[in-house]
Amino acid sequence: MNLVRFVFATLALTSFLAAQTGPYDLVLRNGRIVDGAGSGWYRADVAVRGDTIVRIAPTISEPAKQIIDVAGRVIAPGFIDIHSHARRGIFEVPTADNYIRQGVTTLIEGPDGDSPVPLAPFLAKLEGLPKSINIGTFIGQGSVRAAVIGNVNRRPTSEEIGKMKTLVEQGMKDGALGLSSGLFYVPGTFTPTEEVIELAKVAARFGGIYISHMRDEAGGVVESVKETIAIGEQGGLPTQVTHHKIIGSANWGQSAATLRLIDEARARGIDATIDQYPYTASSTSIQAGLLPAWALEGTRDDLRKRLSDPATRSKIKSESIRALQFERGGGDPKNVVIARCDWDSELAGKSLADVARQRRNLEPTVENAAETAIWIAEQGGCSGIFHAIGEQDVERILRHPATMIGSDGEIPIFGKNAPHPRSYGTFARVLAVYVRERKTLTLEDAVRKMTSFPAQRLGLLDRGLLRPGMKADIVVFDPERVRDAATFENPHQYAEGFSHVIVNGQVVFEGQAMTAARPGKVLYRQRGI
Ligand SMILES: [Zn+2]
């Protein structure tokens, strides 16, 4: 008995010592460690074995298969993007270069109420895909509603609500990290608050969060934040205002009120948080951005039918004029730019003013821009970029302690279309513009907002911090050189200043190039039943 005990003790000690002393698979030497917790940086080396960080110490001199001298650069946890549309592109570009090259090692899919339903086949396909990046997903309320009753504006029966709950439950069992909604979009916009709460309660049982593209980010933004808080409070789960922004110059400054609501909610014990991308333009489809939601109910044929009725058409047009003047349109057709048009790829990069003039032979007035937006919707729609956000609100929201970073981007095919630069630049831009140039945030706090904060939010308990035992998702960058190169005029430019990106212990980006490693994993909910 004693001998057995001795052998076990020796084995345990040996493996403990082995973890401490190597040989290691990878050692990063001479780093400034920004550990993700928000504490000040310190100097150390980091050792990795397999997919795990096994040691952090002032000097690690034991042998390793690979040693990288980072020469005083920052070593931080890989960034976690809590709001991405990675489904747009992950199967075409499984290396996700635009994200990896700005330090993102985990993408969370299924935001804005939009996810595959059911999730299982999608997750199985992702499992089978060799990829450079980790990926997890939410289950989308809008998609669940569409699957049960379609894109229609009506209340569900209690039987239909039961079906929706079952689909959310299935999504959570399949590994979703929570429930997302897009109450601005069709069909989310047709959903009464109580119905969202019913579904949120299901996600709550599984330890999931609720994350929402709110009903209104313009004139009704304060009411929408109240609704988001109420859903968290009555649904019994953490709640998050996603890509928080204030749209339309008439509404600029409202972030003071919305942040006060978040503070008050937190003070009374409601777990409400925010994520944000650091740009003064948003991106969504031209039709969702500029046409009223009621016009988009049903199919494209339904829309065409509505537009063929002169009275309905003029009602749609007057609401579109209002959106152009006071909301996403930013008061000038030049502030709306086409990002991508599948039926006419040449429209990408042109403003609504250009399209009115060149394609419709119209003077670029607001009224004619509304006419052009309707024409675009009739053709099948395009995605657009909308310059209608104030810098003061961006900075105020970013500075808030409950705000984390999320790109709301996608995985573009390099050089194709004119996507929002957030897909290439979000995380690098925060580090360059808001840490180095404007000093809105400290480096440590910015990294916290990209790492441990979203990891804690999502229950990804083994990522987001540089500590022994955590998964080895690691980025190395030069804080003096890091920058976003992507602009609205020239979006297809990778971020700069990152020298190494490591996913699950394997180097996926080094120097200027992606490596052949494909260590990305599908991440599933870890907490709850
Ligand atoms: Zn959104």
pLDDT in tens, 126-172: 999 999 999 999 999 999 999 999 999 999 999 999 999 999 999 99
Gap from CA of 111 to ligand 1 centroid (Å): 7
Gap from CA of 176 to ligand 1 centroid (Å): 18
Gap from CA of 221 to ligand 1 centroid (Å): 14
Does the pLDDT at position 217 exceed 90?
yes
Gap from CA of 319 to ligand 1 centroid (Å): 21
Gap from CA of 356 to ligand 1 centroid (Å): 27
* Structure tokens, 58: 């002032």
What pLDDT score was predicted for residue 527? Answer: 73
Gap from CA of 442 to ligand 1 centroid (Å): 27
Gap from CA of 321 to ligand 1 centroid (Å): 22
Edge to edge, the sheet with strand 272-276 lists 139-140, 178-182, 209-213, 239-241, 272-276, 403-405
The verdict on whether omega for the bond into residue 23 sits within 30 degrees of 0, i.e. cis, is: yes
Gap from CA of 213 to ligand 1 centroid (Å): 5
What pLDDT score was predicted for residue 86? Answer: 97
Gap from CA of 447 to ligand 1 centroid (Å): 23
Q: Is residue 339 within 8 Å of residue 283, measured between CB atoms?
A: yes
Gap from CA of 241 to ligand 1 centroid (Å): 10
Gap from CA of 148 to ligand 1 centroid (Å): 22
Q: Tens of pLDDT along 76-128?
A: 999 999 999 999 999 999 999 999 999 999 999 999 999 999 999 999 999 99
Gap from CA of 216 to ligand 1 centroid (Å): 11
Gap from CA of 284 to ligand 1 centroid (Å): 7
Does the pLDDT at position 256 exceed 50?
yes
Q: Mean per-residue pLDDT for 264-285?
A: 98
The overall average pLDDT reported for the chain is 95
Q: Is residue 275 within 8 Å of residue 178, measured between CB atoms?
A: no
Gap from CA of 182 to ligand 1 centroid (Å): 7
3-class secondary structure for 199-233?
A: HHHHHHHCCCEEEEECCCCCCCHHHHHHHHHHHHH
Q: Is residue 84 within 8 Å of residue 67, measured between CB atoms?
A: no
Gap from CA of 210 to ligand 1 centroid (Å): 14
Does the pLDDT at position 15 exceed 90?
no
Gap from CA of 408 to ligand 1 centroid (Å): 7
Gap from CA of 190 to ligand 1 centroid (Å): 16
Does the pLDDT at position 528 exceed 90?
no
Q: How far apart are CA 321 and CA 291, in angstroms?
A: 9
Locus of tokens 């920052």:
74
Find residue 275's DSSP bridge partners.
404
Residue 363 backbone zone (phi > 0: left; psi -120 to 50: alpha; other: beta): beta
Does the pLDDT at position 5 exceed 80?
no
Gap from CA of 468 to ligand 1 centroid (Å): 35
Gap from CA of 432 to ligand 1 centroid (Å): 24
Gap from CA of 462 to ligand 1 centroid (Å): 27
Q: Is residue 275 within 8 Å of residue 243, measured between CB atoms?
A: yes
pLDDT band at 1 (very low <50, low <70, confident <90, very high): very low
Q: Is residue 408 within 8 Å of residue 283, measured between CB atoms?
A: yes
Gap from CA of 413 to ligand 1 centroid (Å): 21
Gap from CA of 346 to ligand 1 centroid (Å): 25
Q: How far apart are CA 97 and CA 69, in angstroms?
A: 23
What pLDDT score was predicted for residue 13? Answer: 52
Q: Mean per-residue pLDDT for 387-415?
A: 98
The verdict on whether omega for the bond into residue 468 sits within 30 degrees of 0, i.e. cis, is: no
Instruction: Say what the alpha-carbon torsion angle 329, 86, 379, 141 is, to the nearest 10 degrees.
Output: -80
Q: Tens of pLDDT along 481-513?
A: 999 999 999 999 999 999 999 999 999 999 889
Q: How far apart are CA 311 and CA 261, in angstroms?
A: 40
Gap from CA of 108 to ligand 1 centroid (Å): 13
Q: Tens of pLDDT along 330-378?
A: 999 999 999 999 999 999 999 999 999 999 999 999 999 999 999 999 9
Gap from CA of 243 to ligand 1 centroid (Å): 7
Q: Mean per-residue pLDDT for 423-447?
A: 98
Rounded percentage of the chain residues whose pLDDT exceeds 70: 95
Gap from CA of 6 to ligand 1 centroid (Å): 59
> Angle formed by the axes of helices 310-326 and 366-379, to 10°?
120
